[in-house]
């Protein structure tokens, strides 16, 4: 960052502080606790969206043994689906993928790669899987200029009411942002320095 970045940061921080965004980072929530908190927030503030980061950090009401983790995740997934229907609010749930994805660099992710449960695939209305694009040598595809970002794809693996397939995107590390890969232009002066 440099001196010309600070007025923009200050202005944006002021706008964000007034936004109706509520963050609850209580650790170790059960699905029942999450649902109770969401209901309370919805009645007090009229929630428009719930984001859960991430599903595997929640636990079920029964706290099953690790042998039954798939059943526990299925209960959590079902509880989240019920919450979305009850409150009539979209819920975005981040989820981990299985470790096999790390070992197989040049493979597209699949729905079966969702960690610990096929119930996630069943309950979700939409599943998007981000993955990096690699060249023949197994290296990340990046533009020559870092401000151009890294090539990634969003695989729309499931969409209850629409098409599936790949969407080419660009990850802009300096902004921690994903954008459509088509027709994007960035003014080099808008790219913050990583100093």
Question: Per DSSP, which regions of 3-54 are E strands?
Answer: 50-52
Tell me which of 53-62, 134-143, 161-170 is least confident.
Answer: 134-143
CATH 3.40.800.20 fits 1-122, yes or no: no
The CA distance from 116 to 58, in Å, is 13
Q: Which two tokens stand for residue 111?
A: 């729905």
Average pLDDT over every residue of 9-19: 88
* CA dist., res. 54 & res. 116, Å (int): 13
Q: What is the pLDDT of residue 69?
A: 78
- Do residues 49 and 21 lie in contact, with contact meaning Cβ atoms separated by under 8 Å? no
- Residues forming beta bridges with residue 168, ordered by sequence position: 153
The domain ranges of the chain are: 1-122, 125-195
**Unique residue bearing structure tokens 């929530």:** 29
- Which residue, among 85, 97, 106, 107, has the nearest Cα to 38 in the 3D structure? 85
Give the residue with greater pLDDT, 118 vs 52: 52
C-alpha span between 48 and 41 (Å, rounded):
10
pTM for the whole thing? Answer: 0.78
pLDDT of residue 94: 93
Question: Helices 31-45 and 69-87, interaxial angle, to 10°?
Answer: 20
Give the confidence band of 194 by pLDDT, cuts at 50, 70, 90.
Answer: very low
Residue 195 has pLDDT above 50, yes or no: no
- pLDDT tens track for 19-36: 888 889 998 899 999 999
Peptide bond into 28 cis (omega under 30): no
**pLDDT at residue 73 greater than cutoff 90:** no
pLDDT tens digits, residue range 93-152?
A: 998 887 777 777 677 888 888 877 688 888 999 999 998 877 776 666 665 455 568 888
What are the start-end ranges of the E strands in 13-136? 50-52, 91-93, 126-132
Report how far residue 129's alpha carbon sits from residue 94's, in angstroms, rounded to the nearest whole number.
10
Model pLDDT, residue 191 = 52
Give the C-alpha separation, 101 to 115, whole Å.
Answer: 10
């Amino acid at each position: 960052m440099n001196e010309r970045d600070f007025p923009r940061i200050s202005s944006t921080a002021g706008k964000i502080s007034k936004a109706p965004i509520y963050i609850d980072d209580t650790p170790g929530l059960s699905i029942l606790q999450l649902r109770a908190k969401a209901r309370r927030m919805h009645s007090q503030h009229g929630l428009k969206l719930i984001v859960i980061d991430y599903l595997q950090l929640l636990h079920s009401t029964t706290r099953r043994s690790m042998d039954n983790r798939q059943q526990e995740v299925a209960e959590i997934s079902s509880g989240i689906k019920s919450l979305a229907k009850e409150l009539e609010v979209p819920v975005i749930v981040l989820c981990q993928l299985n470790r096999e994805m790390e070992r197989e660099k040049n493979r597209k992710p699949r729905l079966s790669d969702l960690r610990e449960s096929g119930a996630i695939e069943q309950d979700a209305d939409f599943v998007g899987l981000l993955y990096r694009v690699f060249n023949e040598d197994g290296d990340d595809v990046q533009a020559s200029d870092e401000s151009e970002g890294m090539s990634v794809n969003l695989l729309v693996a499931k969409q209850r009411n629409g098409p599936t397939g790949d969407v080419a995107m660009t990850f802009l590390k300096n902004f921690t942002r994903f954008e459509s890969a088509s027709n994007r232009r960035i003014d080099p002066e808008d790219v913050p320095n990583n100093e």
